Structure 1
């Protein structure tokens, strides 16, 4: 990690945070988030990835805190303190993100909102872009997001087990539909981006072997909206860790142009 990031993150973690709660309008689960108030008129909602919780984005959260933004770090359903039984590959989480947007709009009606997501959280914010978002949602930043659940599972089936896994993934998708209420067809970020109208930045590392870098180029060519791209030599969700200065400049320039 670049010099100074560990110390800066530790300072951010110690800042006062308000615990927010909402009930998912989709599942009824109780969801939790932590709000860091910088008395700014910009709030960044931060969505974490698969198998972790909101603390996994503390390093990124301190960046937005340093830029003066308010920060809302949420626990997805079935993660951290939030209730729930299933992860949704970004689809279920996108429905919950709509509820978090409503919560911020209710608590802070004058705030501009930025959506930031990493990995599955990146898929979440991209999938959320297909909905009719309120006008106070100004920008979206995705870091290391995949094109769809089917694509990323197929990629790892071939990489790890040297099989295409088409029937296996199809069977899992059917089980997901029966148990969790969604199929993997609903996780296609390309279809969502075709409907998006919000400026978006695509941030990926060339040494990402969890989500192949090529997915960034595929995603960033979808839809007609304001776009920025950024790349580093980092691995999965670690661009900011090893290229913090350029990463911060890219974010600042994106905010300056579109916010």
Structure 2
């Protein structure tokens, strides 16, 4: 009787510990997802409301002090050109249905369990002043929207490109509850590519140009079976993979190790987002890419280290690739740190590729 009673107590304790562990996984995992991937009414996540957030904010120390004044001046110049372009451009808002495929095994298109999960994505078309088959698909970053890449669109327009700038899922005017961190977005980008080909014809030439999370999405898309109309990718400050990105943020913000926070978030994201973050790797995707790719990164990026750009460049299997590291540039600020170098490099790389 004593042994049976002891065994019963041990079993009960084990069950209680298992239940406690399960509850902690749910609590920690959901808290991490809500903090990083669920935007509020203002479009920002809990992560981006922190006083020490790193984005395009010059006040956060992510810009080297010796280039700070130049960045502010260049920003004013680029935004003035953007505003002048927007004044003479008729912008068309278009919508498509988001991908209902959730990326199992790295393949877009697998059906979700519930069709009701589908939602609309919003995109904005800025036509070239003269008829052109050249298009750039501009992909914004984390908690941004199409407005944040319009200054890039102005420069592409000056080179005769039409511009399509979508709002990624859970951003801007697009639907969705969870930010995709590039992985689910890559499937949506393939839909936008199909939209351009279907509406404007098979003769279109398309460039994917992404910034930060948008750059990761573009790199991830390049590893899929991608239409031949996509002639090049420009990746501006992409991260290598979501697990490394989250682990770095957890350590930076809270001084916590990857386990249990990231591991618990992985478990809950499988349930809430339908995919495993270990698959969400731009690094693995560019190993499959055959699309010419230009990688750009700022040497003073305090959010995504420039070493990630070098890893992506080395891993990329495209027959033509290039790496540009802009001295002193903070996160997503390469174009604003040295506009001449940035845009000269971009359009030199794209010459003869996009028609």
What band does the TM-score fall into relative to the shorter chain?
over 0.9
Superposition map of 1:60-209 within 5 A: 60-109=152-201, 110-209=203-302
Partner of 1:21: 95
Partner of 1:234: 329
Deviation by residue 1:164-211 (Cα, 9 ceiling, x = unmatched) = 223210110111110111111121111101110100000100111010
> Matched residue of 1:195: which SS?
coil
Give the structure-1-normalised TM-score.
Answer: 0.96
Greater CA drift, 6-15 or 109-118? 6-15
Structure in which a larger fraction of residues adopt helix: 2
Partner of 1:51: 143
Structure 1: gaps of 5 or more residues:
none
Q: Distance in 1 between matches of 2:274 and 2:212?
A: 22
Give the structure-2-normalised TM-score.
Answer: 0.71
Task: Check 1:162–1:250 CA distance in 2 against 1; reply closer, same or farther (3 A cut).
Answer: same
**Which of these residues, 303, 316, 320, is aligned with residue 223 of structure 1?**
316
Higher relative contact order (CA 8 A, sep 6+): 2
> Matched residue of 1:76: which SS?
coil
Q: Distance in 2 between matches of 1:166 and 1:223?
A: 29
Q: Distance in 1 between matches of 2:309 and 2:257?
A: 22
Structure 1 residue 234: Cα displacement: 1.0
Structure in which a larger fraction of residues adopt strand: 1
Q: How many residues align?
A: 259
Structure 1 residue 4: Cα displacement: 2.5
Greater CA drift, 189-198 or 2-11? 2-11
Structure 1 residue 28: Cα displacement: 2.1
Q: Distance in 2 between matches of 1:224 and 1:148?
A: 17
Structure 2: gaps of 5 or more residues:
1-71, 101-116
Structure 1 residue 257: Cα displacement: 5.4
Q: Distance in 2 between matches of 1:257 and 1:221?
A: 24
Structure number with larger C-alpha Rg: 2
Q: Distance in 2 between matches of 1:169 and 1:250?
A: 37
